[in-house]
């Protein structure tokens, strides 16, 4: 019963609903709690993170389903074109800025986004992000 209830809840958190909920202080707390719940499968956790971290245009061009691979593996893969990589970095930087603006830095899921940003962004981009945060 608990797994079925969680499946129904997760069904509502996708696409635009997930984004609008994630970038709200109380919504981010809920998404973070769901993401770190023992009831949620690893595949669902990857899907949630993938939906937040990957630009939709890049996700639609991918041959695999969202959540089929961990985010770090997906970001380091060589299958993305130079333009797609630039789009991913721009999307992650925008997500990080929104998290700072909305004061969401206390949530572990946001830390995962920042980790992805620090791994992919250039030194100049990271400096600009740091200046915007101050």
Q: What is the pLDDT of residue 63?
A: 67
> For residue range 48-85, what is the model confidence (pLDDT) as tens digits?
999 999 998 887 777 676 667 888 888 888 888 889 88
Please tell me the total count of domains within the chain: 1
Low-confidence residues of the chain: pLDDT under 50: none
| Domain ranges, residue 93 | 2-133
Q: Evaluate whether 89 touches 58 at the Cβ level (below 8 Å).
A: no
Q: What is the pLDDT of residue 76?
A: 82
Look up the pTM and report it.
Answer: 0.85
CB environment 72-95: b (16+ within 10 A), e (fewer): eebbeeeebeeebeebbbebbbeb
């Amino acid at each position: 019963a608990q797994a079925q209830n969680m499946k129904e809840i997760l069904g509502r958190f996708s696409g635009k609903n997930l984004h609008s909920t994630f970038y709200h202080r109380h919504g981010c707390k809920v998404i973070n709690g769901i993401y770190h719940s023992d009831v949620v499968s690893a595949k669902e956790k990857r899907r949630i993170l993938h939906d937040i971290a990957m630009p939709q245009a890049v996700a639609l061009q991918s041959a695999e389903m969202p959540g089929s691979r961990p985010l770090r593996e997906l970001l380091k893969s060589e299958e993305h074109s130079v333009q797609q990589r630039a789009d991913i970095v721009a999307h992650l930087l925008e997500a990080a800025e929104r998290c700072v603006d909305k004061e969401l830095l206390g949530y572990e899921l946001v830390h995962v986004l920042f980790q992805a940003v620090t791994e992919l962004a250039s030194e100049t981009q990271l400096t600009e992000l740091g200046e915007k945060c101050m």
